[in-house]
Amino acid sequence: MKKMLSFFLLLLVMLGVAAGVGLWKVRQLADSKLLIEQETIFTLQAGTGRQALGVQLYDEKIINRPRVFQWLLRVEPELANFKAGTYRFTPQMTVRDMLRLLASGKEAQFPIRFIEGMRLSDLLKQLREAPYIRHTLKDDRYATVAEALKMEHPDWVEGWFYPDTWMYTANTSDVALLKRAHQKMVAQVDAVWKDRIDGLPYEDQNQLVTMASIIEKETAVAVERDQVASVFINRLRIGMRLQTDPTVIYGMGERYDGKLSRKDLETPTPYNTYVISGMPPGPIAVPGLASLTAAAHPAKTPYLYFVADGKGGHAFSTNLTNHNKAVRNYIRALKDKDGQ
């Protein structure tokens, strides 16, 4: 009887030691760093169970000891309430940190940048090339975009997407991102339109955006934007053609090869402001808020001309004689630069 009792006591001690060792291994795994050496994007599919999660983490070389991992989920069951999604793991994370992240549902955020001066075709190309975006547009036609977004003005498409860095989670659709950018642009344009000065020659908000897009393409110098706007407004008021190269380039589409010839300036398109009078039929690019503001608040100047000065800015003139002189100065500056 005493031998039997001793045996059971020994067995209990051994079981206790084994349990202690097992618990120590579980705690050790929980507090150990992930095996990754750089940020890693991890996608957990819906319906993944505990066993499958451990296998996936092991197969992707994020953890070792998958059997101990299963015990961790039993010892700390609150860590087993993971949610499907795409997550960003960092090398400093412990296994416990990782499981808490999976339980939080805080998915990885990815950036996409819509830049001032881009066309909608450029934005669509970015969306196609960006990772983890779900593509739902059947094609890149602007009419398709307008229909998918249920735009209030289906013909107001180009230029109507706010330039910004947009954050998204995996499986966000292209339409959802475009809708966010469009809604913000509508709100910004509405605010700028209500605050515009009196007497501007715009028939509607789309013409304001059109002017802002031309300003955006003509100068990147912040302090010049309202002066550039004044030149075009002054021209419109006296019936002078806008004669701005970016509109010609837009009208040429894929025919533009990086250079403009005299023939290009003389070839009619709906956007060639060397040929047409007044405003082109719509925006030629995405304008930023600064260009929208300049279009709504042009400077009060007598200027009718401007040309690059060779130093990153522009020289403004009130008459053709001074303008031609500024053009010669610009050409001279380019030659001097090439000679260096």
Which pLDDT score is estimated for 16?
Answer: 42
On whether both 231 and 287 belong to a single domain, the answer is yes
pLDDT confidence tier of residue 3, bands split at 50, 70 and 90: low
| CA–CA distance, 53 with 70 (Å, rounded to integer) | 9
Q: Lowest-confidence range among 193-202, 237-246, 322-331?
A: 322-331
Which pLDDT score is estimated for 19?
Answer: 41
On whether both 237 and 319 belong to a single domain, the answer is yes
Question: Helices 205-218 and 289-296 sit at what angle, rounded to 10 degrees?
Answer: 120
Which pLDDT score is estimated for 332?
Answer: 81
* Contact between 274 and 265 (Cβ < 8 Å): yes
Task: Say whether pLDDT at 14 is over 90.
Answer: no
pLDDT confidence tier of residue 18, bands split at 50, 70 and 90: very low
On whether both 274 and 335 belong to a single domain, the answer is yes
On whether both 250 and 284 belong to a single domain, the answer is yes
On whether both 223 and 153 belong to a single domain, the answer is no
The reply to whether 309 falls in a domain is: yes
Domain stops at, among 189, 205, 236 = 189
Which pLDDT score is estimated for 298?
Answer: 98
The reply to whether 50 falls in a domain is: no
As given in the structure block, the two tokens for residue 189 are 């344009």
Which has the closest alpha carbon to 72: 90, 96, 55?
A: 96
Which has the closest alpha carbon to 95: 71, 67, 63, 65?
A: 63
The reply to whether 49 falls in a domain is: no
Average pLDDT over residues 275-301: 97
The reply to whether 52 falls in a domain is: no
Task: Say whether pLDDT at 125 is over 90.
Answer: yes
The reply to whether 199 falls in a domain is: no
Task: Say whether pLDDT at 288 is over 50.
Answer: yes
For residue 316, the tally of other CB atoms under 10 A from its CB is: 22
On whether both 241 and 169 belong to a single domain, the answer is no
The reply to whether 18 falls in a domain is: no
* Contact between 213 and 287 (Cβ < 8 Å): yes
On whether both 176 and 242 belong to a single domain, the answer is no
Task: Say whether pLDDT at 10 is over 60.
Answer: no
Q: How many domains does the chain have?
A: 2
On whether both 289 and 234 belong to a single domain, the answer is yes
On whether both 168 and 231 belong to a single domain, the answer is no
* Contact between 169 and 43 (Cβ < 8 Å): no
Stretch (H or E) spanning 173: strand 172-173
- Helices assigned H by DSSP within 76-204: 95-104, 120-129, 142-149, 174-194
Which pLDDT score is estimated for 4?
Answer: 55
Which pLDDT score is estimated for 13?
Answer: 41
On whether both 225 and 181 belong to a single domain, the answer is no
Q: Is 314 helix (H, G, I), strand (E, B) or coil?
A: strand
Domain that holds residue 225: 214-339
For all residues of the chain together, what is the average pLDDT?
Answer: 90
On whether both 185 and 227 belong to a single domain, the answer is no
On whether both 269 and 319 belong to a single domain, the answer is yes
The reply to whether 40 falls in a domain is: no
pLDDT confidence tier of residue 23, bands split at 50, 70 and 90: low
Average pLDDT over residues 268-296: 97
The reply to whether 238 falls in a domain is: yes
pLDDT confidence tier of residue 336, bands split at 50, 70 and 90: low
Q: Lowest-confidence range among 5-19, 215-229, 307-321?
A: 5-19
